[in-house]
Each structure stands twice: as C-alpha cells, then as structure tokens.
Copies of this chain bind each other. A is one copy, B any other.
Amino acid sequence: METSGVVFNQFPRGGFQLQALAERVSRDQEHLPVLPPLYNVVRDTASCSRSTYSPLQALSESTCRDHAAPAPPPPPPRVQESHSQVPNQSVTLHPAVARCSASLELSALWRSFHELGTEMIVTKAGRRMFPALQARLSGLLPNADYLLLVDFVPLDDKRYRYAFHSSSWVVAGKADPVSPPRIHVHPDSPAAGAHWMRQLVSFDKLKLTNNQLDDNGHIILNSMHRYQPRLHVVFLPGDGQSAPGTVPYRTFIFPETGFTAVTAYQNHRITQLKIASNPFAKGFRDCDPDDCPPEPGGQRAPRRREEGPLAQPYAAEPSAGGPLYAPHAHTVRYDTYI
C-alpha cells in the first residue's frame, strides 16, 4: 500500500485515488516550514475570535489565552531550507473547502495541559493520545466527500531532556533523524460533509509509537522531541467536481495541542492532570471511591499514598527549554473527557 514515501495507518476505502490524493496533501507540505503561508490555517474558533491571525505567531506562543496563567513559550518554529513549491501568495481555495472551519473540542482541557507543557506517551505497541484530538467541523458541502487526516510536524529540530532539579525542560542537542512521515486517516474517510458536520469528529484510534519499524500504521515519533498535530480536511472531487488551479484542502493547527513525546512522564503535574482527567486512569485518583468522580471544581481527599514533597514542590521558573507548568495551574478536576 506504499506507493510513495508516505505511510498511512490504513487506506481501505475508495481505493488508490484517495491514497494518491492524501499523499499529495502530505507531499505538498512535507518540505515546508511548519506553518508556511500556503496553509489555510484557522484558529481554534471555540477559544479565539481574532479575525486576523498570524500562523507563525500561533505556533510560537499561545496567542489566544484567556487565562492569567503565564504563557509557556515553546521554542520558535524551525524553518527548513527546502522551500520547494511554495506559492507565497494567497491561493484560490476549491469551493468545497472555501467555507470550511474547525474548532478544537475540549480546548479548556488542552489549554490546562499546554500550560504545564503537554507530554504524550509513546510506546512500542502504540499509545493513544490523551486528550484525543477532537474537532467540530462546519462549512463543508453536505453532499461532497472529504477525507480527514492528521499528521505531526516537529515543532523544532531539538532533542530535550527534563531537568528534575529545576522541573523544566532543557535542550539536549539536535533532533534525531526522522522516520518517513506517517499520516493518520480518520476511519470514516471518505465521508460526506454532512457526516463530518453531524457530530464531533474524534481521532481516538490514532496511536503514537517510538518504534521506527512499526508495522501497525501508527504514527512514529521520536521520544523527547516536540510535535505539533495538524488536521487536514481534504475534498475528494467526484465527477466533474475538479477545479484545476484550486487547492482542495485546508489545514488546521491548534497550537495548544503541541506536545513533547516521552516514554515516561517527566513533569509530575502532567501525570496528575492525566490521572484526574482520563477515565482509564481512575484507579490512580486520590479520592474516595464513592465520590471520586467530582465535577470540575470539586475537590476531594487523597486516598492513595500521601505523596508529600514528591519531586520539588511545584514552583519553578520557565527556563529556556520551553513550556513549563504554571505555578498556579488550575485546581479544576476533570472527570470524563472521552
């Protein structure tokens, strides 16, 4: 099923036309900077109403933060050299995607993680993301067919290490070599616009792995590196629906979904927030079994081991390495986010 360098998790449907189209989307962007002007980048509409939006700014900081918590600035995005085929001017969108927009679901939870410096576990067998990428779509043509793709681009070309003494990430060198990029195709693809817009689109089948030889179609990432997920909405032209010279897809980036891939959690507050918000980790929660599932805002007594001064007490300054947790991160409890 690999006709080019791009590897997909699956491509049962629609045969090879779809695969070729998805490959084109991937290739178009493969050698571009993380956020080239070509991209039709749209901000998380649920959390930000800014009409003018700078893509590069979006990745370099969280531009739309409605909390007072200090914004953890990730390192500036890498700009690669090979700008092949970058039409720097505005492009004409295919009508099927011209009015398309997407909003990130659970953006408050994502922001809570982002403020601490999101970490995502990668394992040999593949690990789901938590939170999972979920989006609400609008502006699609109900009767037109679309693919929904997710891929991951490096946020920089560095390798990181977590300094426990300062509870901060520090640069540990240049990035390791990258594996051939992989793209996750939403299992419903292709589907009509009406299907995608009917309800939340969830990428909860997507799995991350650090196994460079992975055979299951999972997304291959380097541990201790930073990544930015991207959502691509790709129009699939039917008979006579092609419009040469137009761009048939749009790419959405939600900066608060950027993360560091790890094989074990480094920042203990990330661990705690995962435990508090992921229903599958309920067994690790520090609360009585009866009233354990508290609604956001509730607060309960600890049950498991009293972890006293476990690592450093959570009070450290952001260092050059990248985002740190905010000293006064939310005490909000998340219950069921799945």
Contacts and interface: CB of A to CB of B under 8 A. Distances in A.
Interface string A10-23: 01111111000000
Contacts of A16: 143, 192
B238 A13 contact: no
Contact of A15 (B12, B143, B187, B189): B143
Q: Say how many copies of this protein the assembly contains.
A: 2
Nearest to A16: B143
**Central interface residue in A12, A191, A238, by most chain B CB within 10 Å:** A12
Nearest to A238: B17
Contacts of A239: 239
A144 interface: yes
Contacts of A189: 13
Contact of A12 (B12, B14, B192): B192
A321 to B, nearest CB: 43
Nearest to A189: B13
Contacts of A255: none
Interface string A193-207: 111000000000000
A contact patch SS: loop
A105 interface: no
A188 interface: yes
A3 to B, nearest CB: 12
A131 interface: no
B195 A13 contact: yes
A151 to B, nearest CB: 21
A145 B15 CA distance: 6
Nearest to A196: B12
A190 interface: yes
Interface of A: 11-17, 143-145, 187-195, 238-239
19 contacts: A12-B188, A12-B191, A12-B192, A12-B195, A13-B145, A13-B189, A13-B190, A13-B192, A14-B14, A14-B190, A14-B191, A14-B192, A15-B144, A15-B145, A15-B193, A15-B194, A16-B143, A187-B187, A239-B239
